[in-house]
Chains A and B, each alone.
Chain A
Amino acid sequence: MIKDISLARKQTRVIDPAKNLHQRQLKQRIAFALIWLAGIIAITALLFIVGYMVSNGFKVINLEFLTTRPAGGVSGKGGISTTIVTTIYLVLLTITIAAPLGIGTAVFMVEYTTEYAGKKNLVGYLINLIRTSVEILAGVPSIIFGLFGFAVFVSYMKLKFSLLSAGLSGACLVLPLIIRTTEEALLTVPKSYREGSLALGTTKWQMIFGVVLPSALPGIITGIVLSVGRVIAETAVFWVTLGGSYRLPKNLLSSGRTMALHVYMLASETTAFDKALGTSAILIVIIILLNLAINISSKQFSKKFSGK
């Protein structure tokens, strides 16, 4: 060891410090330039896509487009009113099913299983299994959720192509997302809050409901808003579970068509490509607004909590 150190000292004496510094700074400049370039290319591409969609799409958007229902047929006549309503219905239904399940699972995994984690018993294995499945499910292509929904909800449970089938399948799709974001949010709640609550003689449930969940709320809301975005953007799952009727769904067992699905159908089955672009533009705007909503709400929360 001592030999190595004296050797290293000798070497540093040989190197000219000024030249060395110059070389290192040159390397840094090249690296920075490449990183900048990568960033600029990526952002330009994204801006181009959004710009193309919005500028072309907005040509067909007017009040009539928004308030009349699609007429069907190869010409793709009509507007998108029913698809907007169906999208809202489906988002509400999916989140109503997925949010309680997902948040409950995450609370269970974070708050009630720490004492079993890593232990070699049935509960320990079960929890490991849940955790692994959630991770795998998060990476599964959405059409697989669609096929599952088709096999189980549409065919086996005889729910037909319907809002309910689609809502249940959509819930399966966003469940891993909600579980993971909620889990992460719960894990960031400091231990001192939990101890502080328990030391007051609260039950564990009072601690979770009164302190832990409120502190984790911004993270949980982010997960839910991301899920809303996911449902709005999804086509594959709903293609095989929601059917494609352009009429307004009358009840949970009616078929329907979301905006994203409508874009897909317009683009693949009709000649009305401009209307597909118009619908896409509205979708993009909605997603942008959702992201803004996340930013604003999480800022509001942190403001409230830090008291500044």
Chain B
Amino acid sequence: MIDNNHVIPQTKIRVENFNLFYGKFQALDKITIDIPSNQITAIIGPSGCGKSTFIRSFNRMNELIPSVRTEGKIILDSKDIFEIDPVELRKQVGMVFQRPNPFPKTIFENIAFGPRAHGIRDHRILEEIVEKSLRQAALWDEVKDTLNKSGLALSGGQQQRLCIARALAVEPEVILMDEPASALDPIATLKIEELIEQLKEKYTIVIVTHNMQQAARASDFTLFFNMAESRAGYLVESGKTTDIFTNPKNELTEQYISGRFG
């Protein structure tokens, strides 16, 4: 679906005819899209159009809600994610949430928790992972002397970078971000955006955002979702971010990015 004039990036996640239901209510309608590898893909759209539901499908977090049912395929590399154990899948597909949610543990323990859960016991290795993850999340210099302080003592923006570091510590391939900056002030937001830009070298990033400038600034590809009374959340248009924002093909997209609804 994504048209590329120059380089064709590898596909990391392929979504085919994906439907999702909460009980009888359909939330996502026949989504088909390829998510490119090592790029930042932004998902924009009005409230309630299923953006969050969509990315929570990639790590099967929706299954925590008992009434959820899905149809169709989501293929990570070459495997259908619904055939991978969710615990294994979530190690490969990490997630950062809308509100920073550090655990009520020390900064060190917040980050060591994931690797430890995956079987790393050696304290020296854990120390290395903690430092590396914090450096990657551009937080090391601010917290290196206070690793034994509670993660909850950090500022909101620091907490969110701590959560990013925590996700990085289990070495995922994909990082899902559900409006990661919506609870932060503009300066903290900018820091997160810079960070995301650096992370795409190593990771495939899918980010849901409510903020169109953010999508325009910080992403390579954009998916525009919408919903209607008669239709569940569906994909209206997708493409390179520059194309979507300068030359949208669909009238709805144009209306949305110019701020006429949503």
Within the complex, which residue of B102, B114, B150, B151 is in contact with A202, where a contact is CB–CB below 8 Å? B114
Beta-carbon contact of B64 and A198 below 8 Å: yes
**Which candidate, B70-78, B90-98, B195-203, B234-242, is the interface stretch facing chain A?**
B90-98
Taking a contact as CB atoms under 8 Å apart, the answer to whether A197 and B103 are in contact is yes
Query: From residue A185, how far is it (CB to closest CB) to chain B in Å?
Result: 13
**Alpha-carbon distance A195/B65, docked complex (angstroms):** 12
The answer to whether residues A305 and B104 also contact, given A195-B61, A197-B113 and a CB cut-off of 8 A, is: yes
Contact of A196 among B64, B97, B150 (CB under 8 A): B97
Give the interface centre of A190, A196, A306 by most chain B CB atoms within 10 Å: A196
Q: Which residues of the other chain, B, contact A197 by a CB distance below 8 angstroms?
A: 103, 113
Is B69 close to A, CB under 8 A? no
Question: Do A307 and B118 have beta carbons less than 8 Å apart?
Answer: no
- A-contacting residues, B209-231, CB 8 Å: none
A255 at the interface (CB under 8 A from B): no
Report how far A199 CA is from B154 CA in the complex, Å.
21
Residues of chain A with a CB closer than 8 A to B149's CB: 307
Residue of B nearest to A217 (CB): B104
Decide if A199 touches B104 in the complex (CB within 8 Å): no
For A199, what are the chain B residues with a Cβ–Cβ distance below 8 Å?
A: 59, 61, 90, 94-95, 97, 167
- Say yes or no: is B166 at the interface (Cβ < 8 Å to chain A): yes
Residue of chain B at shortest CB distance from A215 = B104
Q: A269-308, CB under 8 A of B: which get 1 and which 0?
A: 0000000000000000000000000000000000011111
In angstroms, Cα B153 to Cα A210, docked, is 20
Do residues B95 and A305 form an inter-chain contact, with CB atoms below 8 A? no
Q: How far is the CA of A200 from the CA of B91 in the complex (A)?
A: 6
- Interface check A75, CB cutoff 8 A: no
Q: Is the CB of B94 within 8 A of A195?
A: no
Q: How many residues does chain B have at the interface if contact means C-beta atoms less than 8 Å apart?
A: 33
Complex alpha-carbon distance, A199 and B118, angstroms:
13
Q: Number of A residues whose C-beta is below 8 Å from B?
A: 24
**Is B1 interfacial (CB 8 A cutoff)?**
no
Residues in chain B near residue A214, CB distance under 8 A: 104-105
Contacts of B104 in A (CB 8 A): 193, 214-215, 305
Q: Given A195-B64, A200-B90, do A307 and B103 touch, yes or no (CB 8 Å)?
A: no
Residue of B nearest to A204 (CB): B87
Chain A neighbourhood of B92, CB < 8 A? 201
A115: Cβ under 8 A from any B Cβ:
yes
C-beta contact mask, B111-140 vs A, less than 8 Å → 1, else 0? 001100110000000000000000000000
B259 within 8 A of A: no
Q: Is A28 an interface residue (CB 8 A)?
A: no
List the A side residues contacting B99 at CB < 8 Å: 192
* B101 is an interface residue with CB less than 8 A from chain A: yes
* Nearest 6 pairs of A and B residues by beta carbon: A307-B153, A307-B150, A201-B91, A192-B101, A305-B104, A200-B114
Besides A193-B103, A199-B59, 13 more A-B contacts (Cβ < 8 Å) are: A190-B101, A196-B103, A199-B167, A200-B90, A200-B91, A200-B117, A202-B87, A202-B114, A211-B103, A211-B113, A215-B103, A307-B149, A307-B150
